[in-house]
A and B are shown apart, each in its own frame.
Chain A
Amino acid sequence: MTKKIFAMLGTLALLSACETASQKVVSGSAATSSSTGSATSSVDKKQSLFAQAKQTAADKLIAVGDRVLFDYDSAELDSSAKILLDSQSRFLRVNSDLNFIIEGHCDERGTREYNLALGEQRATAVRDYLVIQGIDPDRIKVISYGKEKPAVVGSNSMAWSKNRRAVTIIE
């Protein structure tokens, strides 16, 4: 009979544990960016310049083409995907100071766990292609979201085709 009480305490403990973890991250970055009061504003400026540059690069990446699409239940790159990745790899070579994350996604017509694996295959297919094009594998991370983050909401073949994708983003 005491189990419910334990469970309730557990809830609070987990929530506070998460807060602690995220606070640690925040305080860590604050410590590196504010050694003295006067330095803070210039560091902030640098950071905002960096953020601006990153945003510009992100916009350029989208202009170059940040995503490739896949067939149903497939992680194979077709010829149009490869052409896009060729220009993407040129962009990545030019912006050699930036690191990237490739997100693999699926449409909703699969089971959750299988789609997590399929999303990982899709992201890896893009990563492997970029590495063959000469991109340093240490600059690239992959993550799968399975069917958790559709780009287009809707239950029709148009939406599904846009959701079966691998998207390259700047880390």
Chain B
Amino acid sequence: MISKAFADDIKIKINSGQIEPLPVAIADFTGKEGKSNQIGRQISEVISNNLVGSGQFKAIESAAFIAPPTSPSVRPNFLDWSPLGIKALVTGSVKNINNDEIEVEFRLWDVVAETDLIGLRLTVASKAWRRVAHIISDEIFERLSGDSGYFDTRIVYVSESGPQNKRLKRLAIMDQDGENHQYLTDGSFLVLTPRFSPTSQEITYLAYFKNEPRVYIFNLETGQQELLGSFPGMTFAPRFSPAGDKIIMSLAQKGITDIYTMNLNNQEVKRLTNSSAIDTSPSYSPDGKQIIFNSDRGGSQQIYIMDSNGKNIKRISFGNGRYATPVWAPKGELIAFTKMHKNKFYIGVMAPDGSGERLLAQGYLVEGPTWAPNGRVLMYFKQDKPIDDGKSTNVNLYKIDITGFRETRIITPSDGSDPAWSPLLPN
């Protein structure tokens, strides 16, 4: 039996700024023979990297362990773990079902209360072991932090290479931790600003296919790339609606950029803004009822909010400088943005009414925040000031806690920009 009081004892408070990481032990998942043993060790390593990378956990080195890893079906001797200061213990096992399939089991133990918290058994293709490790990481994270996880997710971004004035840009996709990296386009045409659909199975983006900049939808399951509608000018800055039934984007025509939606079921096009200014970078609220975007209608680029029918347009950013690329947090409580002020770029967050602005990251150029599905981490790209001979440009993906701590570079095969974080993948 799990006592609720004890279970709560090891819950982490994430809201309180910088927190003391919770000491946990991730024992190697046990296997009966070489192959399952090795997969077991790799799964433990991925779980450990995920939890430690979140900043909320400290993994105790396995060299310090007193007892060897036990099977998840066996109640551990908690006295082997509590002296190391460990609050929670993860045990697991890997069994070969046949050549291509494994059964992975894990159990999370409360070392202080001497009880088990959760367990899970999954049968999967052996080569999907990484995904199992991410799913288990999310289970552990959710049980211990009380917040949903973000490990079983992917990142789509623009991979960059070559000199600055002849950049080769390709769509690429990878796991949240940089693994399973794949290219989706071959670089023969310029691609920008990819974003996931709510199911993570489609990506909308801007492609200069045949040198006509237009919004496309790429289906990851079928591999089909589809031009979105037929417009008399450049379409760009696309995002899916929260229900996935519409694309919201900008159309630039005759020097005027306004915001439009296109219904994916019946191809109906609606114009939402009608100004002679630049209205772009639209993003829906999670409930789909409101839209934030940036516009220079008041003279300089600022963030505005409107109803989903384009009515009730109000400016919400009033700080110093220019504000851009607003994007609504998955739970709706914040918006993230790019800010430009005195030749510096910043990534920040504010409430949807514009109050409580906090700047989290800065650089010569930082741009384009995207939310982890639990709303606790932002990813963006950062360009270092290039050396003036122009031979080298450093553009990389970074993530940072919304507390402003732990800015971490995401390692990619070459430079990267325009990241978009997927929702949690459907199981």
Contact = CB atoms under 8 A, between A and B. Distances in A.
Interface of A: 1, 3-4, 6-15, 17-18, 21-22, 25, 73, 75, 108-114, 116-118, 120-121, 124-125, 128, 143-144, 148-156, 159
A148 B167 contact: yes
A170 to B, nearest CB: 14
Counting from the closest, the 8 A-B pairs by CB-CB distance are: A13-B223, A153-B390, A10-B223, A124-B255, A117-B257, A111-B324, A120-B252, A117-B278
A109 B367 contact: no
B326 to A, nearest CB: 11
Interface string B401-413: 0000000000000
B190 to A, nearest CB: 6
Contact of A143 (B211, B338, B389): B211
- Which of B201, B211, B221 gathers the greatest number of chain A CB atoms within 10 Å? B221
A150 B221 CA distance: 36
B165 A17 contact: no
A83 B365 CA distance: 35
B379 interface: no
A1 B123 CA distance: 10
Interface in B171-190: 173, 180, 182-186, 188-190
Contact of A124 (B183, B213, B254, B364): B254
Contacts of A14: 184-185, 218, 223-225
Contacts of B192: 112, 148
Interface of B is mostly: mixed
B184 A75 contact: no
A10 B165 contact: no
Given A111-B325, A124-B254, A148-B190, A7 B220 contact: yes
B280 A6 contact: no
Nearest to A1: B128
B385 A155 contact: yes
A2 B218 CA distance: 18
Contact of A111 (B190, B224, B367): B367
Contacts of B343: 109
- Which of A1, A8, A150 gathers the greatest number of chain B CB atoms within 10 Å? A1
Interface of B: 124-125, 128, 131, 163-165, 167, 173, 180, 182-186, 188-190, 192-193, 201, 206, 209-213, 218-225, 233-234, 236-237, 250, 252, 254-255, 257, 278, 280-281, 294, 296, 300-301, 324-325, 338, 340, 343, 364-365, 367-368, 383, 385-386, 388-390, 418, 425
A112 B301 contact: no
A7 B255 CA distance: 38
A10 B167 CA distance: 24
A12 B167 CA distance: 23
B131 A114 contact: no
A144 B180 CA distance: 34
Given A18-B188, A111-B367, A114-B324, A10 B280 contact: no
Contacts of A143: 211-213, 234
A22 B185 CA distance: 14
B365 A12 contact: no
Nearest to B154: A7
